[in-house]
Amino acid sequence: MSSYQLPPVWTKLRRHEVFPTFSHDERARYNFLSNLNRFVSTVMAPGNRIAFENRVRPSFQEKHGRDFQDRHELQDYMSKDPVYQAWGALRRSTMEMRQQNGRAAVLRQAAELAGKVCEQLSKGPQNLELKEGFTVPPYLRHVDNHLMPGSYHTEYFQGDVANAANYDSGLFVTSGGMLGSLTDGGGQAIAKWVKETYPDFHPKRILDIGCGLGHNALPIAQAFPAAQVTAIDAGAPMLRYGAARAKALGVHNVTFIQADAASMPEFEDAGFDWVQTTMFLHETGGKAIHRIMQEIRRVLTPGGITLHIEQPQYTPEMSLYEQFMRDWDAYYNAEPYWGHMHDLQPQDLMEEAGVPREEFMQIGVKAVNDLDPKKEDGKVAEDYGRSPIWNVFGGWKR
Amino acid sequence: MDKTQELSGSHAGGPLDHSPIDASSVNDILMAGDKSKGGRPYFLESAETERIMNVAMAVATEVAVLRERLDTLERLLESKGLIDRAAIEAYEPDEASAQERQLWHARYAARILRIFQQELDAIARPENNTPMHRIADEINEM
């Protein structure tokens, strides 16, 4: 056997009752794209550092008599290097192919998927609330996050779930399967950490903001079966598919509600013991994020906890090279708030959310991955912005 | 509950058609290739080269898909006792078959590399490279 570390085959993904069906060749396409991603991230991406240290930085220093001032200046010079150019072109191309191939698979069965979801939703108690005339926040309408045409909110026809099904079946490819067989490694990790760190914490009401299709809300609901989880998002296709998926997976203590996190009049003051976001804040906007913090402060009960899984913040301790590499996704994987958001100080955000500085906490958490043959010790080359190792910040409200 | 919000499908009639659609008129072929919002960055010095790279990577994907399908075929046939994969691996064609296969490779290579052959021809025989608008004028006099 080769010592090359293979990504898991796509069929390791657990397919539930509302999951799209994939043909032989559609599966093969995803297997190839996973491998292409792996090569680009483990073989080509490290080349950027070599090019940076060996020629880009020395030639800049020679010319200007100083080092780079910030990541933007570094970006200007790296973007002229052929190693960076080849990596960037291939990374972008791979992402676009992943979207096109995923869309091709789900759009050809869009009507059947909508039917399957509708049927699943009719079983058991209602776990979905969509709002007529709901206004999708402008920061979502302004960009197609992750180069996902139509983003989370676009419905191609009434009852459509195509974009959600694409997200559910394709994130495995983008993440190289490192989030596990249900792509829920983030939610599993935070649930495990909370349970182990605060064994006496028994939340009754949990709010998951920006839940998408509930990848990370479900493991929290499963870890705290006595709690009622409210999962909110702006995207109707995601909520509809997520509610059906939860039923298909037998998780019954989650309700999916369409809501705007910056204004949640549907929820009473101090109504939640735990407010969670997972890889959500960097997909909001520069003004909305502060309104969201105000709303978290209002709906979180004193003595409750709020936690936020994010990529690491850009701090003075983080090298400019790392900031520059992490910025790639902001500009070229269409997550434009990423860079600005990671310039904010999480302590400040949490203070706005009602967490005093002395209660602020920040930890590193790694995805719980049931597909990793070496379990959680598996070492994968750093793929800035895509690695399943996150920064979690938050704290207790007083 | 199931009211449609922000019906923003593009494309029942093509990539520039933004009229709403219903479930029975999803143009999956063109919609699969929808462009996401925002200007597309080009990383290589030449956008033309990057376009070709994108075509080449898509073709490479399809080669991988064919390879996986062939592998499925071989394994299914073997499981039914119809072929022996080890025999495929060990197969060495006889002289005549080997020649036929070489011929196929030669034709294939020549098809793929046609443009290089023709560019060399252009340098070798400049007299054969009169611009077509001039030929049109010339032929008008014939």
Task: Note the pLDDT tens digit of each residue in A258-276.
Answer: 999 999 999 999 999 999 9
Average of per-residue pLDDT across A251-256: 98
Nearest to A14 by CA among A175, A139, A166, A177: A177
With a CB cutoff of 8 Å and minimum separation 6, the contacts of A353 are A275, A293, A294, A296, A297, A300, A306, A397
- Interface probe for B, chosen from A80, A128, A157 (most Cβ of B below 10 Å), is A157
CB contact under 8 A, B43 and A89: yes
Which are the contacts of A44, defined by CB distance < 8 A and separation ≥ 6?
Answer: A83, A86, A87, A90
Mean pLDDT of A211-219: 98
Q: Which of A79, A110, A118 sits opposite B26 (nearest CB)?
A: A110
| Residues linked to residue A228 through DSSP beta bridges, in sequence order | A205
Interface contact B2-A118, CB threshold 8 A: yes
CATH fold for the domain made of A6-398 = Rossmann fold (3.40.50)
Contacts of B78 (CB under 8 A, 6+ apart): B84, B85
Beta strands in chain B (DSSP E): none
- pLDDT of B1 reads 33
Section A296-315 average pLDDT: 94
Q: Rounded CA gap, A127 and A24, in Å?
A: 34
Q: Cα separation of A370 and A133, whole Å?
A: 40
Of the candidates A32, A85, A132, the beta carbon closest to that of B44 is on A85
The sign of the torsion formed by the CA atoms of A99, A86, A338, A396 equals positive
Predicted local confidence at residue B109, as pLDDT: 87
Quote the CA–CA distance of A83 and B44 in Å, as a whole number. Answer: 10
Residue of B1, B3, B5 to mutate when probing chain A, most A C-beta within 10 A: B5
Domain boundaries, chain B: 8-40, 43-91, 93-142
Q: Are A206 and A195 in contact (CB under 8 A)?
A: no
Q: Which residues in chain B have their CB less than 8 angstroms from residue A154's CB? A: 6, 8-9
Give the best residue of A100, A155, A331, A335 to mutate against chain B (max B CB count within 10 A).
A155
B24, B31, B53 member nearest A111 (Cβ) = B24
How many angstroms separate the first and last alpha carbons of chain B? 76
B14–chain A Cβ distance below 8 A for any pair: no
The helix/strand/coil state of A366 is strand
State both tokens at A110.
Answer: 């869009």
Q: Does B46 touch chain A (CB under 8 A)?
A: no
Q: Has residue A340 got a pLDDT over 70?
A: yes
Token output for A327 = 């910025």
Handedness of CA B74, B77, B79, B83 (dihedral sign): negative
Chain A positions in Cβ-Cβ contact with residue B28 (cut-off 8 Å) = 103-104, 107-108, 110
Neighbours of B47 (CB within 10 A): 11
Q: Do B6 and A132 count as a contact with CB atoms less than 8 A apart?
A: no
Residue whose C-alpha is closest to residue A19's, from A110, A113, A101: A113
Per-residue confidence of chain B (142 residues) as pLDDT tens digits?
333 444 444 444 444 555 557 888 899 999 999 999 999 999 999 999 999 999 999 999 999 999 999 999 999 999 999 999 999 999 999 999 999 999 998 898 888 888 888 888 998 899 999 999 999 999 999 9
Q: In chain A, which ranges are continuous DSSP H helix? A: 24-39, 45-51, 57-64, 71-78, 82-107, 110-121, 138-141, 162-174, 185-197, 217-223, 236-248, 288-299, 320-332, 337-341, 346-352
ipTM for the complex shown: 0.84
Which of chain B's residues have a Cβ under 8 Å away from the Cβ of A153? 5-6
**Which is nearest to A360 in space by CA: A398, A319, A323, A325?**
A398
Checking if the pLDDT of A383 tops 90, the result is: no
In the predicted structure, residue A1 carries a pLDDT above the cut 90: no
The arithmetic mean of pLDDT across residues A106-131, rounded, is: 97
